[in-house]
Chains A and B, each alone.
Chain A
């Protein structure tokens, strides 16, 4: 980390692609289709969604926080946006998604930054609020009949043959990378996570940075929710189930530190592809759904343990 050019510095960047290759080879031994071009493209496309959520999570992880409400916020946004889109058209759906996600993030950020509530508690509370909201709005049933405009824009449409979700994920990645490395806000995220007290003493606007981070996180999660809503064609109250855990796992696997101030877009994207490839492989090799949940749980804990190990060296 100290010397970006040395081979030693490269190892963390090579380890994940290597692990991915090993895992894919392993799955292909059981199910040869795993390595087919078609399936690899499929994995890439499927990753788009998790990439967006992982980017969202990464923004707050960088500040030494995390957001447990990402998944449930996605559920609430999905339901609310679908309801609005069904009754008043795609534009209304998008507007509602933007407003709701923005409100969730702003609230998270305010509670963490101004009321100084631990992010764990703040976003756990928000998780429950979103859960209640999603269930109330939907009555526990999917909101069907999402207009085609929305599905085309966020799911089935293509630009130069590139599927919309892939394009959106790519744009988000690029945008976030620029934001992190080229803007004062991005730099403030790293410094705030690196040492919040020192950042404050040096005049960095730590509280504004935190509010911005949680808001951006929720907005990205809201975008992810719209993408998933477009894919299923319905607003799903159960959309967010495992997304929080998966997004944290993917980010940490991708080298974003839970102790803040280190990590980046490349790692987050690779981490998301890794987690998606893992579940794709398990699907193809017919691993039971419940077992998959166990595997994901193990992977999350292992990733965090690895994060500790990385730091202690």
Chain B
């Protein structure tokens, strides 16, 4: 292992072209899981020193393909060549030795270990069996500094924010020389500034000759980074194109076969009574301080802000998931003291958590049970199964769940379908206030459009919708009024024509300067 940090990530310079074989060449890859075909005929050719974006809706087979590349499991059919050599019997360990490193969406960090312990997990440095802590700390610090990540190696990983954990994960992937780096939605939890730093890093690795496979749903960053784009649909490679000159509209069409303008629906805002009023809301952990806002019936109230600005905590507090320290909440004009989800649901408030795996769904249980979960208290002790089945079936049809089998375990579904199962919650009981926390995080464009349609329908039916999102275009397009939060405070309230990206960004920077 090389200890130099200036360009020390790649084993050696390797330029694209020059008649050299491509770094990585997969063709005709097929993979089945039981009776389900995940990949039919997937192909991908990665050249050294390029960023190759893998594009496709959820369930298109992107994650299966990158898992095959990383050696998590082997393909059933097709050929896999690395540096012109056929590869067989790849394991994650051997892939790492061959210079293939992956950063997956699911973190591989041990939360109770420190950052440096995680970085060296499984490859600890030692002298005669005794851990060489000093050397590891120095190397960890060097790697983090080199990446420009502001994290101390001694911090406990579990105490870090998700964004910082993501950085540790990336640093871990770059501990050893890397030829092929796989990044699976690496910016999902990063702030704008952190995202920029990641892009700079990607640029640098590319210049050093690393081949980067990049999976993302964010069109802008695809355009920013991609050299080539391979489109997967239903487990097959549809096309592989040069990224030069590609537009966001073009990407959406490539991925789904539908046009971009259809993504954000016209929302028929018609503001009515204030259903939710917060004044001076302050949380015990001080993530939110002195926040006052109003959400009216018949409109979408957006809350924008950087990761960690407290925007999620505001709506979580209303739902009773955070401890209040002060302030007042009024619900439909009446004072309301949050005391937990059951009470909030009964009062007509429903919260849709951003982390669907941790807080949203029981993955091992069927769709039917997950969809009706929030309305259990309305069944007076006895569950009428026939009624439940037909009701949930109708609800899921309305949400366009595909495939429509409601007895499948939720764990077998893609992100978009999981979100639909959660959305069903809002339709299973009378609800007037809808609190959405990052409702489209990790779901594909097709499902996104359906989530937006769902919001539109809610507004049309006179509900108060609060939309908390880190996806700026999303809150800009959908909100009738937009609050911008910064460091736990409301920095601005924008309405009408003032809702622009420039205005929102100005709030962030103005506050920073102050």
Contact = CB atoms under 8 A, between A and B. Distances in A.
Interface of A: 1-4, 6, 8, 181-188, 190-191, 194-195, 197-205, 257, 261-262
Contacts, number: 93
Given A198-B361, A203-B342, A2 B373 contact: no
Contact of B377 (A184, A186, A198): A184
Contacts of A194: 362-365
B365 A261 contact: yes
A187 B383 contact: yes
Contacts of B362: 190-191, 194-195, 198-199, 261
B358 A202 contact: no
Given A2-B407, A3-B407, 16 more contacts: A183-B382, A186-B383, A187-B369, A194-B362, A194-B365, A195-B362, A195-B363, A198-B353, A198-B358, A198-B361, A199-B362, A200-B341, A203-B344, A204-B376, A205-B342, A257-B364
Contact of B364 (A181, A202, A204, A261): A261
B412 A203 contact: no
5 contacts: A186-B383, A187-B376, A190-B365, A201-B319, A201-B359
B285 interface: no
A182 B383 contact: yes
A201 B353 contact: yes
B425 A202 contact: yes
A122 B369 CA distance: 30
A207 to B, nearest CB: 10
B374 A203 contact: yes
B321 A183 contact: no
B257 interface: no
Contacts of A8: 34-35
Closest 10 CB pairs of A and B: A194-B362, A195-B362, A202-B373, A203-B345, A203-B342, A202-B374, A203-B341, A194-B365, A2-B408, A201-B359
Nearest to A190: B365
A273 to B, nearest CB: 26
Contacts of A203: 341-342, 344-346, 373-374, 376-377
A225 to B, nearest CB: 28
A4 B408 CA distance: 9
Contacts of B358: 195, 197-198
Contact of B408 (A3, A191, A205): A3
A182 B389 CA distance: 13
Contacts of A197: 358-359
Given A182-B382, A194-B363, A261-B362, A201 B341 contact: yes
B364 A2 contact: no
Contacts of B379: 184
B417 to A, nearest CB: 13
A286 to B, nearest CB: 43
